[in-house]
Amino acid sequence: MRDNIDRVEMYRVGCGFSECADFCLKEERPLPQHMLCITPGVVNAAFACEVFLKLLLHDAGVEIRKSHRLEDLFNRLPDNIQKELKMRTIVKYGRWENFFRQKYISQISDAFQEWRYIYENDWSKGVSKRIEIGFLLAFRDSLKEICTKRRGGDNGTTG
């Protein structure tokens, strides 16, 4: 684990990407503009999740590996943090799994990598990019709440 990580700055970076995602995903935008902002919104929300997860791992003394996979980072969290995060996300989103017992976190796990390079997708194969944005945002908001609580309630932002 790197000792030179500035936890306050890490938290502020997570909050910044979280705010940017909210800005991109505002539904009040005219439809063409809203559609153009979905990909940046997903990328920013997923990266905010990654930063918050890595902050929680760092705070717990768990080695932070270079990974963008949200599910892998989640699985490395101590059990008590996993349980709290799962519970908060379920309260916000309503469930952790879809009707086929597939975990939503598996579906959003590679969102940062896949959506920031969405232009590299081979659309001729008919593969569409699907993501449960509501779950991603509920997961992100739950992470932010836990990180804020652990920072003493000071969210480190001006808004």
pLDDT in tens, the chain (159 residues): 456 788 999 999 999 999 999 999 887 666 676 677 889 999 999 999 999 999 999 999 998 878 899 999 999 999 999 999 999 999 999 999 888 888 999 999 999 988 888 887 776 676 666 789 999 999 999 999 999 999 886 554 433
36: its two tokens: 């153009």
What is the spatial distance between Cα 12 and Cα 59, in angstroms, rounded to a whole number? 15
What is the spatial distance between Cα 111 and Cα 146, in angstroms, rounded to a whole number? 21
Q: What is the pTM of this model?
A: 0.87
DSSP 124: G
Domain boundaries, the chain: 7-150
CA atoms within 13 A on the CB side of 107: 18
148: its two tokens: 């804020």
